[in-house]
Amino acid sequence: MKSKIRPYLMIAPAMIILGVFVIYPIIYMNYLSFFSWNMMGSMKFVGFDNFKTLISNKDFHQVLGNTFKFVFWTVGLSVILGLCAALYLKANTKINAFLQGAIFVPHIVSLVSISFIWMWLMDSQYGLLNYWLGLIGIDPIRWLEDPNVAMTSIIIISVWKSIGYNTLILVAAMQGVPEYLYQAASLDKSPKVTTFFKITLPMISPSLFFLVLMNLIAAFKIFEPVYIITNGGPLNSTNTLVNMIYEEGFVFYKIGYASSIGVVLMLILSVCTVLYFHMLSRRVHYR
Amino acid sequence: MKNFISKVVTTMLIATMGVSLAGCSSSEPTTTSGADVSAEAASQETIKLEFWYSWTDQIQENNINLSNMFNETIGKEKGIEIVPVYQGSYDETHQKLQASYIAGQAPALSVMEIASTKLFAENGIIKSLDDYIDRDDLDVDDFYTGLTENCIVDGEYYGLPYLRSTPILYLNKTLLEQAGLDPVGPATWDEMAQYCEVIYNELGIVGLTNYSYDWVFEAFFFQEGTSVLNADETATNINTAEGKKIFSYFQDLIQNGYAKMYAGVDSSKVAVDVMNQNTAMWFSSTGDLTKYITLADESGFDITASYIPAGVTYGVPTGGCNIVMTTGLTPAEEEAAWEFMKWLTDTEQTVYASIYTGYVTTRQSAVETDEIQALFEELPEAKIALDQLEQYGHGRPMHSRYAEVKKEFVNAMDAVWVNNADVDTTLAETEAKVNAILAN
């Protein structure tokens, strides 16, 4: 009897924290999404009205599109570029150790500082990027002011920020691949490309799998650069789901409506996670 | 095994007690609302009240100084201690006020941006002051009418004017003189266009810089004899002849290179252009007067200010914050909070705050004092701001969904002025969106 209680007691602190800060808010968010409430007055039950409004709201369609565009490009580019960088940096030399450190720095710096730095780099009048472009005779780009360009700028910033972390994880994974596999491959005179696809990639696939999933979830939750640099503008072109949740909930005081967007985000993330585990986990080579 | 369980249970008990003790001790010094203090007991002990304020620098110093002055005089006498607490921008203050109210931890007193008064009053977070005003016979007519409009919801006062402002037109006197223009500034929008053209031709820079600034946008509509929303706040006047005139006027200036407009999110870029003397005129709050004078001094030019140019008339919205009292206080706390509000907005303190911060002088009796008259002599721009308020000041829209409406206005300005969208279609779309928000 006593030994049955013990494990529960051991996990109780963690479970209580999880319950209070994760599980309860999720349940409460789902509950709130059926109400019209400004957090101050009385709550009004509205059934699925919030979701109906959401589906018919053109701005929401745009936000959804923006978010998917952001996720696709950010995750794709940061993982592929991270992989390239890792391939280059995997040899354990002093200069590589330095480069690895350098490329990792953006990951340590807070997103808020990064946002401010890039805001000025990308300034259309005084920014360094346009100054450099000017030196090679390219017209200034309105990085953050043009609705057609702004999202690309946000993607560039996010990719720049996340490459370092991806590289670090992948380098570690590559250095963990046993040397005898490569020796065997070179005995067989395997071309470098074949070695990469047949040995390196399968061997690092658990790390790669982990990275893609983590990047995916982080990308769907993008908030800081959007909030700080563009605040969702110009013309809603960089507005993403989390920024919209924040705006509807805490600027416009429509917490029920904001919760319904939260529910949509949660559904998207759940579907992604389940699909991803289902499809890819079978192909991942675990040792 | 028994030992283990008893150890765990003991540890947990101790931990729980520790937490609750910590909770007690941390809440003790800041006890405001919710504390079950009877009026009798409170009159003997000191009542501590939190006072939430926004912004830093002079504004922060002003709030702290005034709170200290109160604590040392009337506060000491009547057993009241005001604890000023910084909360960020107006939006952040509102968000925290709302959250703390739900949690039952609201401060007794807070500043509140004027356009939000109705939202908080309607939801019962802030208290009507009418009973106190009547009881103490407070002379509310001493405040300028343009300032009290946003204190009143359904005929009752929910706040008293505190740090208030209006937008004015700032001018780089040095540049205007270089271009051979009268540094008094343009009196009408036609003159404004001429000024911009001359500056562009003479100096090769834009005459006017602005951003998608919803507050100044309200002024443009007042000057055309209308307003951004109709009188009962059920529809917008954006898609009217006046609205189209406003949008086209600036679009023309921008296309000719005579004016520069930044997106709403890039508001900070205006000050950079001012500092680099890439622009000769810009709109900003009267509250920024001291900031721009310092900036001009450092960059080596002179500035002056004038009314925002007239269309069919002059007209500006007022802005800034009122001081409000939250609901749910004990009678003794309410009495103490009222004591502070009354003192803070009284003539003497109005003079102090307006000299210290540069915000407009809110009371007519304060304007008559020697200190304010001396200020006007030293700083004629302060008088310009006050005259504009006195004669042409209006309240702001107070619809509880105005934050959303504002965003649509900013989007419309961004579209037409920054991204050169078509005026007619943009205004029609904005009108439909805004009216849908207002109807909700």
pLDDT band of B294, cuts 50, 70, 90: confident
Residues A60-100: tens digit of each pLDDT: 999 999 999 999 999 999 999 999 999 988 887 888 888 88
Q: Looking at residue A121, what is its pLDDT?
A: 93
* Chain A contact for B4 (CB, 8 A cutoff): yes
Contact A126 B272 (CB under 8 A): yes
Nearest to A145 among B1, B263, B272 (CB): B263
Structural domain range at position B130: 42-165+319-380
Q: What is the pLDDT of residues B51-96, one digit of tens each?
A: 999 998 889 999 999 999 999 999 999 999 999 999 999 989 999 9
| Window B:244-283, CB contacts with A under 8 Å | 262-266, 269, 272
Do residue A145 and residue B418 have CB atoms under 8 angstroms apart? yes
Higher pLDDT, B7 or A58: A58
Please report, for residues A1, A11, A16, B1, B2, the alpha-carbon distance to residue A8 in angstroms, rounded to integers and kept in the order given: 12, 5, 11, 14, 16
Is A238 an 8 Å CB contact of chain B? no
Say if residues B214 and B390 touch (Cβ distance below 8 Å). no
Give yes or no for a contact between A144 and A230, defined as CB atoms under 8 angstroms apart. Answer: yes
Residue A260 CB contacts under 8 Å (≥ 6 apart), including other chains: A33, A50, A51, A54
pLDDT at residue B297 in the model: 92
Instruction: For residue B90, tell me if it sits in a domain.
Output: yes
Q: Are both B143 and B63 inside the same structural domain? A: yes
Mean pLDDT of A187-206: 89
pLDDT at B57: 84
**In this model, does residue B2 exceed pLDDT 70?**
no
Token duo for residue B111 = 């500043």
Same domain, yes or no, for B273 and B347? Answer: no
A22–chain B nearest CA distance, Å? 19
Tokens of B328: 């749910």
Angle at A61 (CA atoms; ends A57, A64), nearest 5 degrees: 135
For CA atoms A62, A68, A71, A74, give the dihedral sign.
negative
Q: How far is A36 from chain B (nearest CA, A)?
A: 11
The verdict on B150 and B172 lying in the same domain is no
Task: Note whether A3 contacts B: Cβ–Cβ < 8 A.
Answer: yes
Q: Is the pLDDT at B323 greater than 80, yes or no?
A: yes
Of B124, B125, B263, the CB nearest to A233: B263
Q: Going by C-beta distance under 8 Å and a sequence separation of 6 or more, which residues neighbour residue B60?
A: B53, B86
DSSP letter, residue B311: S
| Interchain pair B419, A38: CB under 8 A | no
ipTM entry: 0.83
In the predicted model, what is the mean pLDDT of chain A? 90
| CA pair distance A170, A162, nearest whole angstrom | 13
A235 and B419 in contact by Cβ < 8 A?
Answer: yes
Are residues B104 and B181 located together in one domain of the fold?
Answer: no
Residue B35's pLDDT band, with cuts at 50, 70 and 90, is very low
User: A262 Cβ partners below 8 Å, 6+ apart?
Assistant: A29, A33, A245
Segment B112-141, tens digit of pLDDT: 999 999 999 988 999 999 999 999 999 999
Residue B210 within a domain? yes
Distance (Å, rounded) from C-alpha A162 to C-alpha A70? 13
User: H-type helices in B73-188, by residue range?
Assistant: 74-78, 90-102, 117-122, 130-136, 145-148, 173-178
- Choose, out of B112, B209, B265, the residue to mutate when testing the contact with A (most A CBs < 10 Å): B265
How confident is the model at residue A285, as a pLDDT? 58
Name the residue among B132, B128, B65, B120 with its Cα closest to residue B93.
B120
Asked if residue B30 belongs to a domain, the reply is no
Rounded CA-CA distance B370/B65 in Å is 21
Q: Chain A partners of B262 at a C-beta cutoff of 8 Å? A: 145
Domains of chain A: 46-280 (1.10.3720.10)
pTM (predicted TM-score): 0.85
Together in a domain, B313 and B323: no
The predicted model gives B304-329 an average pLDDT of 94
Note the pLDDT of residue A26. Answer: 95
Mean pLDDT of B353-358: 89
Residue of A235, A238, A250 best to disrupt the B interface, most CBs of B under 10 A = A235
Residue B25 falls inside a structural domain: no
Task: Check A251 against B264: CB less than 8 A apart.
Answer: no
Partners of A147 on chain B (C-beta within 8 Å) are 419
- Residues B280 and B423 occupy one common structural domain: yes
Task: Note whether residue B114 is domain-resident.
Answer: yes
Return the H-helix or E-strand segment holding A163. Answer: helix A150-175
The CA distance from B392 to B308, in Å, is 10
- Domain assignment present for B395: no
Residue A5, chain B, CB below 8 Å: the answer is yes
Q: How far is CA A185 from the centre of its chain?
A: 36
With 50 as the cut, is the pLDDT of residue B18 above it? no
pLDDT of residue A281: 66
Same domain, B157 and B184: no
Q: Does A228 touch chain B (CB under 8 A)?
A: no
Of B5, B125, B264, the CB nearest to A40: B125
Give CA–CA dist B272/B275, Å, rounded. 5
Mean pLDDT of A221-235: 89
CATH code assigned at B222: 3.40.190.10
Q: Which of A217, A200, A230, A206 is nearest to A284 (CA)?
A: A206
Q: In whole numbers, what is the pLDDT of chain B averaged over residues?
A: 88
Q: Which two tokens stand for residue B104?
A: 């039952």
A39 CA to chain B: closest CA distance, Å? 7
Q: How far is B32 from chain A (nearest CA, A)?
A: 20
Within this chain, do residues B302 and B182 fall inside the same structural domain, yes or no?
Answer: yes
| B14 found inside a domain | no
B139 and B102 co-located in one domain? yes
Residue B31 forms part of a structural domain: no
Residue B394: which pLDDT band, with cuts at 50, 70 and 90? Answer: very high
Do B349 and B428 fall within a single domain? no
B317 forms beta bridges with: B394
Same domain, yes or no, for B245 and B299? yes
Is B101's CB within 8 Å of A40's CB?
Answer: yes
Indicate yes or no: CB of B411 within 8 angstroms of CB of A236: yes
The C-alpha of B403 sits at a distance from chain A's nearest C-alpha, in angstroms, of: 6
Q: Is A144 on the interface with B (CB under 8 A)?
A: yes
Interface contact B404-A252, CB threshold 8 A? yes
Name the domain count of chain B: 2
B403 closest CB neighbour out of A126, A236, A252 = A252
Q: Identify whether residues B345 and B368 lie together within a single domain.
A: yes
What band does B223 get if pLDDT is binned at 50, 70 and 90? Answer: very high
Residues of B in contact with A57 (CB under 8 A): none
